[in-house]
Amino acid sequence: MIPVNQWVVSVLQILPRSVVKPFALRYIAGETMEDAIRVVKVLNGHQVMGTMDILGEHVSRKEESLAAVRACEQVLLAIHENRLNSNLSIKLTQFGLKIDEAFCYSNVTNLLDVAKRYGNFVRIDMEDASMTDATLTLYERLRAAGVEHAGVVIQAYLRRSEEDLRRLIPMKVNVRLCKGAYVEPEAIAFKEREEIRRNFLTLLRMLFEEKCYVAIATHDEYLIHETCDLIREGRVQKQDYEFQMLYGVKVSLREKLVADGHRLRVYVPFGKEWYAYSMRRFKENPRMLRYVLVSLFSRRG
């Protein structure tokens, strides 16, 4: 992040949450499941799929994890009852990964039993690099147990990701491929934009060549253009991939992809833990940070 953006972030972090929240709502559906249902209904009306996510991670008590499981079960029920075209995304640290891996696995399998009952799918989000090994191990364990309705995430900025994919591809992994959003040391992560782009396309080619289902999660127009070329050249069928974008980001680009006939899914986060997620999004999009400050000072003027 360039120095001016670092300064803007530091200023934003000392502002009252009441000031930040109206801008955070550009990136989240709201605080309640009803908010998320409303947003997904609108997206579905525009031929866009959803993936709903209850915000929150790194819980420290088993009671919190069990509450998260129950809340996710309610999301799956709401998707079913409202006939939404949406699946569910989860974070393993919310399910107790840092408390006890066996406890986390039990929580995930219980949720997946509910998802299977409703004919739905659960995407296991990837978190910071300290969680990568445990996340992939748990996913491999699920697949070895015969679970087909779960997917995982690979982050292109991690140097290890090509090796990870080679390990996952034989099981016909269902993967969301993204650049990666967490700040990691250069020893384990590519830092230059072009390095990340090259690795993203390398990993994508691997997935296309091995006929794995891939969710292409990016707002980078260069990568989207290159991906469309790969789809045409490889004659990749529409049922074998989808694009994914974050709620509130590059809506016009999203609309163009849908108009061009691509399947597209929007990540719809909601919940009371909106602040940490929104700050991460603001840091990734400095222009939005400036909107916050300009609006704040305009009101005061």
User: Is residue 281 within 8 Å of residue 27, measured between CB atoms?
Assistant: yes
Tell me the per-residue pLDDT of 250-260, one tens digit each, with 9 for 90 and over.
Answer: 999 999 999 99
> CB–CB of 88/75 below 8 Å?
yes
C-alpha distances in Å from residue 193, one per residue of 126, 189, 250, 281, 292: 20, 11, 19, 17, 26
Residues tagged active-site: 125, 176
Average pLDDT over residues 199-227: 97
pLDDT band at 25; cut points 50, 70, 90:
confident
If one counts every other C-beta atom within 10 angstroms of the C-beta of residue 53, the result is: 25
155: part of which helix (H) or strand (E)?
strand 150-155
Predicted local confidence at residue 3, as pLDDT? 55
Residue 67 amino acid letter: A
Helices 62-81 & 101-117, crossing angle to 10 degrees?
Answer: 10
Give 3-state DSSP helix, strand, coil % of the chain, rounded to 5: 55, 15, 30
Buried-state track 94-133, b at ≥16 Cβ within 10 A, e below 16? bbbbbbeeeebbebbebbbebbbeeebbbbbbbbebebbe
* 85 DSSP assignment: S
Instruction: With cut-offs at 50, 70 and 90, classify the pLDDT of residue 224.
Output: very high
Of 3.20.20.220, 3.20.19.10, 3.40.50.300, 2.30.29.30, the CATH number of 29-268 is 3.20.20.220
pLDDT of residue 4: 53
pTM: 0.88
Retrieve residue 54's tokens: 């209850």
- pLDDT tens digit sequence for 56-91: 888 899 999 999 999 999 999 999 999 999 999 999
Per domain, the residue ranges of the chain are 1-28+271-301, 29-268
Q: How far is CA 158 from each of CA 32, 192, 212, rounded to the nearest angstrom?
A: 33, 12, 20
**Residue 119 tokens, joined:** 């004919």
Structure tokens given for 223: 């990568």
Q: Identify the band that residue 299 occupies on the pLDDT scale cut at 50, 70 and 90.
A: very low
pLDDT score of 182: 86
Identify the band that residue 283 occupies on the pLDDT scale cut at 50, 70 and 90.
Answer: low
- Element containing residue 243 per DSSP (H, E): strand 241-246
Question: CA–CA separation, 64 vs 93, rounded Å?
Answer: 11
pLDDT digits (tens, 9 = 90+) for 129-160: 999 999 999 999 999 999 999 999 999 999 99
